[in-house]
Amino acid sequence: MLSFFKEYRGFAIVFGVISIIIISIIYNTLNVYKPLPIYQPAMVSTELVDSTIQHQKKYHKIVDFSLTNQNGKTITQNDYKDKIYVADFFFTTCQTICPIMTGHMHDIQKEIMNDNDVMLLSHSVTPQIDTVAQLKRYAVKKGVVDAKWNLVTGDKKQIYELARKSYLAVKDNGDGGPFDMIHTENFMLIDKKRQIRGFYDGTNSEEIDRLLLDIAHLKKEK
């Protein structure tokens, strides 16, 4: 019996090596990176999407906008031209999920600080309270770097429509008031073509890790 194993020892080693190579090839084939989805209104919960576009299945993009940031500067889509960016909705007096979300945005800011392709954009859902001066105080307190991260305020109707018709991320508060909205914990990943490529729970650190990984994947897309 021992002589039998000695005789076929070389064969067993070669067979083992070949098996490992085959298994590796199969594993890599099955784990080929799949491009991130391009989200359309019909793919998102209807409570987050304006009723006029809930059934739209293609061609969705973030529309043109003009808002004011923490420094009183007008911010438009041109400031994000050819950029990947992470967007969210918040308000400076929020004491529940906003501090966690802002902390995680700050974590993302640290990771992208030297990456010229990636920026951040946070929209206030209470623009009547979040004046430029208020946003500036908040930005200083939270460590916002102006070159990477804009906190924006502006016309309430425009922000409402951006939230529900472009970013597909905010709930109508349902009390019948004009353009009243309830922000969610969603972070949205926007590509260089102004398309939504991902939604993430901004209060969950594991989701932030996933977002950062998706940014890296998105940067590799042609």
Instruction: Provide the residue ranges of all domains of the chain, joining segments of one domain with +.
Output: 1-32, 41-220
- Inter-axis angle of helices 98-112 and 132-142, nearest 10: 70
- Which residues contact residue 174 at a Cβ distance below 8 angstroms, ignoring those fewer than 6 apart? none
Report whether pLDDT(79) > 90. yes
pTM listed for this prediction:
0.84
Overall size of the chain counted in residues: 222
Average of per-residue pLDDT values in the chain? 89
Among 3.30.360.10, 3.40.50.300, 3.50.30.10, 3.40.30.10, name the CATH number for the domain at 41-220: 3.40.30.10
CA-nearest of 116, 129, 139 to 219 is 116
Measured CA to CA, the distance from residue 1 to residue 123 in angstroms comes to 76
Report whether pLDDT(4) > 60. no
Q: Higher-confidence residue: 131 or 9?
A: 131
Residue where the block lists tokens 């008031």: 177
Report whether pLDDT(16) > 70. no
CA-nearest of 182, 189, 187, 190 to 203 is 187
**Is residue 159 helix, strand or coil?**
helix
